[in-house]
Amino acid sequence: MSQSLDERHVLDVLERFPYWLHALRGASPGQVARYAASMLGGARWFSWPYDGPPAALVALQDAPWDSDKLGVKSARIYVAVPPGAHGGAAELVARTLATLDGEGYRYLVTRLDANDLQVVQLLEQAGFIVVDAILSQYVRPAEAPAPAAPADVAVRQVGADDGDALGVLAADAFTMSRFHSDPAIGVELGRAIYRDWGTNLAFGLNDVTLVAELDGAIAGFLSCKDMAGARSAYGFGYGRIELVAVAATKRGRGVVAALTARLFEDATARAWEVLGIGTQIANVRAIRAYQHVGFAPGDSIFTLRRRV
């Protein structure tokens, strides 16, 4: 069973929860709680204790894209257990999972800050496995030097004609993800999912998608999304880079720098004061590429999933 909760109670728990995903450095607990709440619009809530004001929460959002790709009823969950509430966390998780199993959910995915290890371990005991670990890096473009874009790389906005090329590039380039690394999903389906994802970039999936050309062919792309809710919670815009790839034969030639230099210009136009990107911690090449253009580490998370 899930509960309808007073927004004030939700904000109260979120304000006491120190590990909300990708909380920006320097933001106050109240700002982070408002940002978190903005991401949880339409969520179903499970809380502990069952009677009285909540001390710990689970939020659930259906994941229709995952359901479609994986062929099973899927949802994202968010677990917020503030200090002092861990005594109820096991009961909260068990009750939530029993309800969701009964409703036919077969794939649940969640992300947790890497500091939130007590809850990571609790979910492992409840049948979740780690399928991904991500380092987030951030930059304030107005304060960073412009990346040194090589003259031979041309950058433009994506067009609908780019769909197939971006799909192929994404399928080939991405080898690590919560799909590729999931023994129940695997590389073949992971590639197909990234192919569709890449193709969709050409049809307005995100707010800014840039394409780089080198030697007369598409060499890479970068796609960035406006994080709705940041403006009201933090008082400034925040863009999150969702996908970046460079064709294997074009790596090491400054394509990331060229794409990022152009993104910094777009960031000014869109009032994105902060840009963020998440990279698998095993993907040292990507982490270094982003450090070269001014990004610095901000937070790290685990992705876990439970499949029944």
Ligand X SMILES: CC(C)(COP(=O)(O)OP(=O)(O)OC[C@H]1O[C@@H](n2cnc3c(N)ncnc32)[C@H](O)[C@@H]1OP(=O)(O)O)[C@@H](O)C(=O)NCCC(=O)NCCS
Query: Quick check: 210 binds ligand X (CB under 6 A)?
Result: no
Both tokens of 97, joined, read 């999972």
226 or 242: whose CB is closer to ligand X?
Answer: 242
Residue from 71, 94, 236, 285 in contact with ligand X (CB under 6 A): 285
| Stretch near ligand X under the rule CB under 6 A, chosen from 29-37, 119-127, 135-143, 280-288 | 280-288
CB of 60 closer than 8 Å to CB of 74: no
Question: Which three-class secondary structure state does DSSP give residue 291?
Answer: helix
Proportion of the chain in helix, strand, coil states, percent, rounded to 5: 40, 30, 30
Query: Quick check: 136 binds ligand X (CB under 6 A)?
Result: no
Question: Which three-class secondary structure state does DSSP give residue 283?
Answer: coil
Residue from 75, 97, 139, 173 in contact with ligand X (CB under 6 A): 173
Element (H, E) at 280: strand 272-280
Query: Quick check: 288 binds ligand X (CB under 6 A)?
Result: yes
80 or 255: whose CB is closer to ligand X?
Answer: 255
The sign of the torsion formed by the CA atoms of 274, 280, 286, 291 equals: positive
Residue from 10, 256, 258, 274 in contact with ligand X (CB under 6 A): 256
Q: Which position has the token pair 């309808």?
A: 4
Question: Which three-class secondary structure state does DSSP give residue 24?
Answer: coil
Query: Quick check: 279 binds ligand X (CB under 6 A)?
Result: yes
| Stretch near ligand X under the rule CB under 6 A, chosen from 71-79, 98-106, 180-188, 245-253 | 245-253
CA separation, residue 53 to residues 186, 199, 272 (Å) = 42, 45, 36
Both tokens of 8, joined, read 């004030």
CB-count burial class (<10 Å; 0-12, 13-18, 19+) for 103:
exposed
Q: How far is CA 137 from the centre of its chain?
A: 12
Both tokens of 224, joined, read 């960035």
Query: Quick check: 140 binds ligand X (CB under 6 A)?
Result: no
160 or 248: whose CB is closer to ligand X?
Answer: 248
Cβ 127 to ligand X shortest distance, Å: 28
Q: What is the DSSP letter of 260?
A: H
Task: For the sheet with 56-62, list strands across it.
Answer: 44-48, 56-62, 74-80, 107-113, 296-307, 129-139, 272-280, 237-246, 217-226, 208-214, 154-157
Query: Quick check: 286 binds ligand X (CB under 6 A)?
Result: yes
Q: How many residues bind ligand X (CB under 6 A)?
A: 18
Give the x/- contact pattern for ligand X in 289-308, rule: CB under 6 A.
x--x----------------
| Stretch near ligand X under the rule CB under 6 A, chosen from 116-124, 125-133, 179-187, 250-258 | 250-258
Query: Quick check: 245 binds ligand X (CB under 6 A)?
Result: yes
Cβ 260 to ligand X shortest distance, Å: 10
88 or 198: whose CB is closer to ligand X?
Answer: 198
Cβ 119 to ligand X shortest distance, Å: 25
Residue from 165, 201, 246, 261 in contact with ligand X (CB under 6 A): 246
Question: Which three-class secondary structure state does DSSP give residue 297?
Answer: strand
88 or 220: whose CB is closer to ligand X?
Answer: 220
In the complex, the residues that contact ligand X under the rule CB under 6 A are 173-174, 244-246, 251-252, 255-256, 277, 279, 283-286, 288-289, 292
